[in-house]
């Protein structure tokens, strides 16, 4: 456990964010390794199937992810206020919710998977493989939620290192089983999904066994879990706007595939690859923003709001350096990055075009996410949700659709940074109002500013 309300702000955030970033890099390797092995051994149709499945998965789990983030905010504020009893109640409540919800999501997703792919106009030759991959993945989604819920709890307590260790082990397991099931056993695309489920199950099981024996607060025992209605209401008040924000994002991803799919398999495969690259490029933004949210939550809970602005400026400086470096590497080595996933020359060329258009704007996306982290840490999640809706559904989707009619798939690529520019402008404007300070659960003294 780490108290983030004492010490040098930038140093605390960097040390807290680094294990989270490394952990999420390893977590992203789940999907990237799937894509690399699938692309090289099973072909571009299978690659397109795996890529098309991700936004569906994200859409189905978005609300639950939002609730987990809401729980992180609640736990961090209670922990900052040294209310350990409420911390324990929040942990119990989160575990009960995520396990019930994950079962419901599995049933809904598996029963409707093929219909969803047809709705977004995925080519018929890809649908069988995409459906198989998605159904297997969703059958084990309870392990995904269990591990990520545990990681969210630990982050709220200021511990970002423990999840990293288990994620490293899980990722190595996933890589080994990916190669074993696809290349050696010839299980096809099903092997990629099974490898991921097995790795996630191992990560969650080992984390719970370890924490039950070593952690002073977390002790998961099914017969001792207690659901607290009051804390759950507080959690969903914060978490649902975040969840709906992610729903807007995930549905916009699905619509993006709806725009991309009519252009054919090569475009779908290329977009599936660059989507993975974008996901990696966005990791510093998301993890530093998550670290900043915990930092803000603990400091507002400890009635130290003056540290928030300093923490934000330090985070923006650090992430600006990182995002500019990633943009340069993605632009210069675009061809080599695409070749990691496929040898198809047309797919590679399309991916290079995308990266040359989008990657220079990674710093805009990063700044948008980091500023939003302040509001989330304070418990103000409604306005960021509205901003996300405006950026994606009022700007991005219409712009991509219009530009696609004028410029082909290139127009879709240009619509993406337009949405980021809108989002960062609106987020910074709202931050300057200071209204987010009034949303903290553990109220600050009236004389603070």
Give the integer Cα–Cα distance in Å for 219 and 259.
Answer: 47
Give the integer Cα–Cα distance in Å for 101 and 105.
Answer: 6
**Residue corresponding to tokens 């789940």:** 30
- 39: its two tokens: 């692309």
For the chain, helix, strand, coil in percent to 5 are 85, 0, 15
Give the integer Cα–Cα distance in Å for 311 and 82.
Answer: 21
Provide long-range contacts, Cβ within 8 A and 24+ apart, for 42-46.
42/182, 42/188, 42/189, 44/265, 44/266, 44/269, 44/342, 44/344, 44/347, 45/125, 45/126, 45/129, 45/265, 45/269, 46/129, 46/188, 46/189
Q: Which residues contact 127 (CB under 8 A, 6 or more apart)?
A: 114, 117, 118
- 60: its two tokens: 């189905």
- The length of the chain is 449
Give the integer Cα–Cα distance in Å for 98 and 385.
Answer: 21
Q: Which residues contact 325 (CB under 8 A, 6 or more apart)?
A: none
| Residue 4 vs residues 100, 340, 427: alpha-carbon distances, Å | 32, 39, 24
| pLDDT at residue 185, as a whole number | 94
Give the integer Cα–Cα distance in Å for 379 and 297.
Answer: 8
Domain boundaries of the chain, sorted by first residue: 9-439
Low-confidence stretches of the chain (pLDDT beneath 50):
444-449
- 414: its two tokens: 């240009």
Residue 353 carries which DSSP code? H
Residue 348 carries which DSSP code? H
| pLDDT at residue 321, as a whole number | 95
| CB-count exposure of residue 320 (10 Å: 0-12, 13-18, 19+) | middle
* Structure confidence by residue, pLDDT tens digits, 137-180: 999 999 988 888 888 788 777 777 888 888 888 888 988 999 99
Phi/psi for 408 (5° steps) reads 75, -155
| pLDDT at residue 2, as a whole number | 66
| Strand blocks (E) in 391-442 | none
| Residue 393 vs residues 60, 275, 385, 425: alpha-carbon distances, Å | 19, 19, 12, 16
Q: Which residues contact 336 (CB under 8 A, 6 or more apart)?
A: none
| pLDDT at residue 444, as a whole number | 45
**Residue corresponding to tokens 């290349």:** 183
Check if the beta carbon of residue 338 is closer than 8 Å to that of residue 353: no
Average pLDDT value for the chain = 87
Check if the beta carbon of residue 289 is closer than 8 Å to that of residue 250: no
| CB-count exposure of residue 249 (10 Å: 0-12, 13-18, 19+) | middle
């Amino acid at each position: 456990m780490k108290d983030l309300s004492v010490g040098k702000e930038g140093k605390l955030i960097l040390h807290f964010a680094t294990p989270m970033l490394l952990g999420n890099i390893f977590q992203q390797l789940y999907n990237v390794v799937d894509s690399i092995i699938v692309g090289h051994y099973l072909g571009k149709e299978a690659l397109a199937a795996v890529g098309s499945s991700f936004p569906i998965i994200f859409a189905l789990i978005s609300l639950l992810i939002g609730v987990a983030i809401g729980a992180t905010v609640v736990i961090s504020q209670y922990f900052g206020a040294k209310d350990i009893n409420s911390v324990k109640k929040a942990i119990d409540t989160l575990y009960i919710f995520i396990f019930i919800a994950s079962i419901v999501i599995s049933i809904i997703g598996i029963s409707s998977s093929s219909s969803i792919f047809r709705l977004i106009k995925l080519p018929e030759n890809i649908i069988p493989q995409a459906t198989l991959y998605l159904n297997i993945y969703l059958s084990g989604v309870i392990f995904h939620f269990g591990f990520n819920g545990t990681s969210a709890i630990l982050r709220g307590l200021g511990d970002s290192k423990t999840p990293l260790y288990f994620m490293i082990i899980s990722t190595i397991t996933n890589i080994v089983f990916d190669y074993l099931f696809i290349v050696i056993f010839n299980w096809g695309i099903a092997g990629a999904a099974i490898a991921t489920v097995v790795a996630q199950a191992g990560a969650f099981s080992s984390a719970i066994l370890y924490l039950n024996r070593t952690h002073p607060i977390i002790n998961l025992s099914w017969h001792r879990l207690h659901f607290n209605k009051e804390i759950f209401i507080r959690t969903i008040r914060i978490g649902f706007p975040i969840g709906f924000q992610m729903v807007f994002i995930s549905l916009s991803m699905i619509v993006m595939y709806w725009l991309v799919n009519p252009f054919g398999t090569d475009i779908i495969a290329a977009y599936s690859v660059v989507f993975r690259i974008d996901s990696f490029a966005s990791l510093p933004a998301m993890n530093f923003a998550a670290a900043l949210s915990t930092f803000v939550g603990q400091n507002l809970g400890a009635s130290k709001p003056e540290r928030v602005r300093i923490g934000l400026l330090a985070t923006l400086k650090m992430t600006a350096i990182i995002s500019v470096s990633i943009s340069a590497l993605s632009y210069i080595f675009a061809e080599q990055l695409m070749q990691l996933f496929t040898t198809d020359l047309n797919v590679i060329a399309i991916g290079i075009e995308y990266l040359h258009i989008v990657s220079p704007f990674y710093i805009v996306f990063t700044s948008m996410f980091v500023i939003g982290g302040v509001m989330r840490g304070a418990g103000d999640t409604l306005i960021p949700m509205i901003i996300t809706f405006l950026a994606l559904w009022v700007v991005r989707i219409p712009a991509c659709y219009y530009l696609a009619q004028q410029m082909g798939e290139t127009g879709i690529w240009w619509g993406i940074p337009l949405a980021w520019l809108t989002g960062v402008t609106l987020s910074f404007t709202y931050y300057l109002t200071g209204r987010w300070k009034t949303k903290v659960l553990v109220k600050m003294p009236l004389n603070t500013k």
